[in-house]
Amino acid sequence: MAGDAPVVDTQEWTGQCYCGKVQWKVSGPLLFTAYCHCTACRGFGGAPYYEFAAFNLDDYCVVQGTDQILKVATIPGSPYLRGRCANCGCSIACTKDSEPKWLSIPLGTVKEYAGVPGRQMHFNYAFKLPWVDFENDGLPKFPGMPGQE
């Protein structure tokens, strides 16, 4: 999955929540970008799909506002742990217990957004909303999570 996608050369990425109280930095490459269509990601992102960038967890650090991050499970018993700013509610990041090597960051929080390549795949495409049309975008569409179909 992540190892098959091209890696972007930029070695430093920064971002913040809407209010700026939580700021983060990634000192390492972007692994891949994707859309996720699952119900949890749609709710987390407040949109019909979740656009994210994936980074190595070891390359990520919060540089300001660690105490402002609310950590919540997507749903009770879910393996996904998500972070939100306690002040503005902005989505910060998401990790999965079974894949602790990478995390996803909502693309809208990345300051270098213009340098992020186009999305490379769709996750959980079986759950996309019926009026969302990506049929002809040419990207791989995984019905669930890649490698878990």
Please tell me the pTM assigned to this model: 0.82
- Euclidean distance between CA atoms 111 and 43, whole angstroms: 23
- Euclidean distance between CA atoms 59 and 32, whole angstroms: 14
Q: Which CATH architecture has domain 2-127?
A: Beta Complex (2.170)
Locate the domains of the chain by residue range. Answer: 2-127
Closest CA to 120 of 3, 30, 33: 33
- Euclidean distance between CA atoms 97 and 79, whole angstroms: 5
Token output for 126: 């079986």
Cβ atoms of residues 127 and 38 within 8 Å: yes
pLDDT (tens digit per residue) in 60-103: 999 999 999 988 876 666 677 889 999 999 999 988 776 668 89
